[in-house]
Structure 1
Amino acid sequence: MASTASQGAASGLGAELKTGATAVPPDQAERIAREKYGLTGKAEWLWGEKDSNYRLTLDDGAEYLFKVLNPAENPAMTSMHSQALLHVEAADPGIPIQRIIRTLDGEADFRMTDDEGGTRGVRMVTFAPGISQKSQPHSALQRYRVGLLLGRMQKALEGFTHEAASHRITWDMKHAAGIRDLFSAFDDAAQRARLERAMDDFENLIVPRMAELPAQVIHNDFNMENILVSEEDPDTISGIIDFGDMVHAPLLFDVAVGAAYQMGDAEDPVEAMCDFLKGYATEKTLSDEEIALLYPAVVTRMLMRLAIPEWRAKLFPEHRELYTRNSPTVWAQFARLDAISRDDAIAHLTAACRL
């Protein structure tokens, strides 16, 4: 249940994150799988920020990911994510993404009626092999390969269009300025001040030039939990999952998102980002203008990673531990990044982008 903080929900938080991940009963998920897909198996609930997810395991051991999407998700958004998966599969079959499982009627997704009488989107995809990059040892080679895959993903999505691509979502950096409204969720004055400085950079450096930046539909969530690696060989990237935050936005923001997460727990966060950027540069080239904005864009994603979960934790206090589980890591990244000369950091990032 939402706390009283929801009474004045800030403009920085979109409808899809003001609505909890309302689960459907596992037996209902199993029934839908049988009736709509002709698949009989056991449904196991999996955590999701805004959707109700299940691992569906068939009698023969085959596994699928069954998603009942957030009630607030626009049907057009559901369609866009499904069509994007199909588009990337056709454009570059070597990118290790999940594959759409069509219904018995040939649909890539469909609408179900839940127990409350509301309609929700449903999608079934293959269960990607591997384990999250976050949970495994990290290396320069691993980060390089993640960057390379982001470049390939952007190239695969170059020709993709959809009516819902400009739909507003909370995690779209284009609208990050609205997140300033969420800073009141932080009781620590020093933390609020650091976020304010980061937001000032976004508004002063990026916003005035944002409309000029090359843009297309982007994945927008290349984070360590959406990147799967081989458990036996963590330097092998085995899967890229979760197209749920896709949006039409500057390509730079996609790169900044990926770079921000690849810092991980590295002692030298700039060097870790450079590993990622060197891989990306083998596939795509950022312009001088984009490179000049990369550092503040990375920091903007970092502030989003702190402010959005903190505000959601106020709305849904029963899920605070899950929503804010990564916040200590991001604050530690801020501390390590702030200990490095900004000019030196920008110079190293620039060199990595221009290989």
Structure 2
Amino acid sequence: MKATVYYGAGDVRVENVPDPQIQQPTDAIVRITHACICGSDLWFYQGKDQWQPGWRTGHEWMGIVEEVGSEVRNFKRGDRVLAPFAFSDGACEFCGKNLQTSCLQGGFWGGKNDGGQAEAVRAQFADGTLVKIPDAVENDAAMLKKILPLTDVMSTGHHAAVSAGVKPGSTVAVIGDGAVGLCGVLAAHRLGAARIIMLGRHDNRLAIARKFGATDFVSSRDEQAIQEVQEMTKGGAESVLECVGTESSMKTAIGICRPGGAIGYVGVPHGSETINLSRMFQSNITLRGGVAPARAYIPELLIDVLADKIDPSLVLDVTVDINGVPDGYQAMNDRQAIKVMVSV
């Protein structure tokens, strides 16, 4: 089968690799039909993460079950399934607390594990990880595209909104106009926010943010952005969604948060480890978030997607086939795409 393999900064290749095989009785083999390239994939693509040549890529995918292990009870051959970006056993202490990304036996697609930017994948802990997509949407291409972002970016944006305590009537600020930030806007709107301020600089992305529910826009950065948000809100936003992960974005998040408010941080940290605890302490600002337990959120979000209450598919603005994955990485790295969908 074909799979995407990492070799170094700016170098991902689609190669022929051995077909996946059942290795444990809890495994399933899934033929991938859809995958994505994630903004977080650009960290290793740019050489900023410690990735090893030969590792597989892709943590966002869905497909059709081809084979199941002897202990798989919830799925059968032919089922269409959606996978969160992390696999989990569904049985440990943390899975029981809906914190599947801390599963004692879990892990993440790609790297040393099978990746989703491929023709097939060995799905570990199938019963604890996979989510079945209703048969009624089996051949509905538009609906499948709406569902695909639940694998990561929509669930992560929702995690930011929940962590920041977004509630009906609240004022929310979202930092970052990538796919996660845009989905954070959609999540905040879904939770009833009355005012959503998007901090971003790209017109095409801000247009999507407006469609998702953003009401105000700030294109400046750092201290200027902090001043503008403070002035327009008369003291800061009650809920701030930090969806970038840099030192600048975290400083901005703390600077625009209203006293007594909360920051939901979901941007993968790259230089943001030093934070202004003094302001957080003095203003009673709460910081919550981290890697999103997408498996916990997918069922409720899937209900709303199927009911046409939310449609995150607008973030998928470029489509490639499996052979076009390297071009998709380049397009995202050059900011010619918000998020690339891989149609396998």
More strand by share: 2
* Both proteins in one fold, TM over 0.5: no
Question: What's the TM-score, normalizing by structure 2?
Answer: 0.31
Higher relative helix content: 1
